[in-house]
Structures are given as structure tokens and as C-alpha cells.
Structure 1
Amino acid sequence: MNEPSPQTLETVGESGNAKIVYILYLVGLVVGITSIIGVVMAYIYKGDAPNWLKDHYRWQIRTFWIGVLYSLIGLITSLILVGYLILLFVLVWYIVRCIKGLQCLDKRQPLPDSGSWLF
């Protein structure tokens, strides 16, 4: 029986933490607090990760903070009704970023543009 090498297990374990962060973000759309737990995890695991995985943690951290910013703008402008469209955009944007991150993570690849404010 072929057993995976320790290096393969280490890579799977490291990417598993990033996958948990993406899942916490998606669950955070319903529960809320899990997104905060996810961003804390991303900050913690970012330092020891290989470069391709640091890219994912950067993406996750930026997704959290940019999402907070866009949500605040949406909440403030909801007084003039435009904010509801902004909040809908933020929801779609957040989900797309998480799914895009999960897809690249499953391929063990860095994201094409982890510094992007959009998708």
C-alpha cells in the first residue's frame, strides 16, 4: 500500500487550514461570527505558510476587510436606497471570491491577482 510522503501530508494540512477559513467565511454569511474567526486564523497561519498558500491567506484577509468596507458603505447608503444594491453586490462579490479561492486552493495554485479589490 502506498503511503503519502510526509511532505505531501504537510501540504495537505497547510491547505486544509486555508480551506477551513474559506468555509468559515461562507458560513459567516449566515452565522456572522465565523468570519471573524476565519480572518484571525488567516493572520495566524499566514506567517508559516509556503508562498502559494500565503497568497491565499492574503486573499482571505483582503476579502474580509474589503467586505467590511463595502458593507459599511452599503449600510450608510441604504438610507437613500442605493445601499441595498451595494449590499447585494457585496454578497455576490464575497461568495465569488470564496469560491474562486477554493478552486485555486484545490489546484494547489496561488490566485492570479490576490491584490485585487474586485474578483
Structure 2
Amino acid sequence: MNDDNPMSAYEAQAKQNALIAYGFMLLGLFTGVFWLVGAVWAMAKAREAKLSVFYDHYQNMISIFWWGLGISIVGFLLALFFIGYVLLLGVWLWSVIKLFKGLFRLLNDQPYQTL
């Protein structure tokens, strides 16, 4: 958004809810439980942001959660072998990068995906 076109209340609420979800998910990278809280928040608020420029941020967080959960389960199962730890580290780093990219784009009032 720019100064010539101020953000509507709808867009501002969508941005605020996405910011809350990103915050919980980033905190959850270190605590675990907040990861789930952030994902549930994103899933619950995504419908409200459907027509906003920030909607794809919700899709991003939901995708990170489900892919991260699935790959983490595989990593835990393979933790008997070294590859499981590599997989867990890889999914953690991938999540950090995707979450910070989304957060920075959100703070700059940009959609997650550029066209």
C-alpha cells in the first residue's frame, strides 16, 4: 500500500491477524506449542481475509504448518538414523526462511507471492 491509497479497515484487520499468526508460528519454532496456535489462528482467520491483498500470507502459513508437520513426522521416524536429524534441521530452516520472508513482505504491505 502507498500513501495515496490508504489501507481499508478490512485490509488492516487481515494484516493484523496475519501478523499475530506469524508471531505465534515464529515463537513456536522454539517452543512447539505456539506453532500449532499460530497455524490454527491462520486457518481460523483465513476466510475473513479472503478478498484482501494479504490472503496468500494465510495460505503460506497453513502450507508451512502442514508440510512442516508431515516432514517432521518422517524426520522423527528416521531419527534412529542420521538422516532423520538432517531432515528435521532442514524443515526447521525451511520454515524459518519462509516465515521471515512472509513477515517482511507483510510488514511492507505486500502479498506473499509476487506476480
TM-score tier, shorter chain, comes to 0.7 to 0.9
1:57-108: per-residue Cα shift (whole Å, max 9, x none)?
Answer: 0110000010001111111111121111111111111100110100111122
Aligned-residue Cα RMSD (Å) equals 2.0
- Asked whether the equivalents of residues 54 and 112 of structure 2 are also in contact (C-alpha less than 8 Å), the reply is no
Is 1:73 paired with 2:74? Answer: yes
TM-score normalized by the length of structure 1: 0.81
Gaps of at least 5 residues in structure 1 are 1-5, 114-119
Q: How many angstroms apart in 2 are the aligned matches of 1:24 and 1:111?
A: 18
Spell out the pairing of 1:59-98 with structure 2 (5 A cutoff). 59-98=60-99
For 1:6-32, what per-residue CA distance to the aligned partner results, in whole angstroms no more than 9, with x for missing partners?
Answer: 954443332011011111011112221
Matches within 5 A, 1:1-119: 8-49=8-49, 50-112=51-113
User: Residue 85 of structure 2 aligns to a residue in which SS?
Assistant: helix
Aligned length: 109
Q: Distance in 1 between matches of 2:7 and 2:88?
A: 42
Structure 2 distance, partners of 1:31, 1:17, is 20
Q: Is the 8 A contact 2:14 2:48 kept in 1?
A: no
Q: Percent of aligned positions with the same letter in both sequences? A: 32
Provide runs of 4+ in structure 1 moved above 3 Å.
Answer: 6-10
Secondary structure of the residue aligned to 1:43 is helix
Take 1:107 and 1:26, find their aligned partners in 2: how far apart are those partners? 18
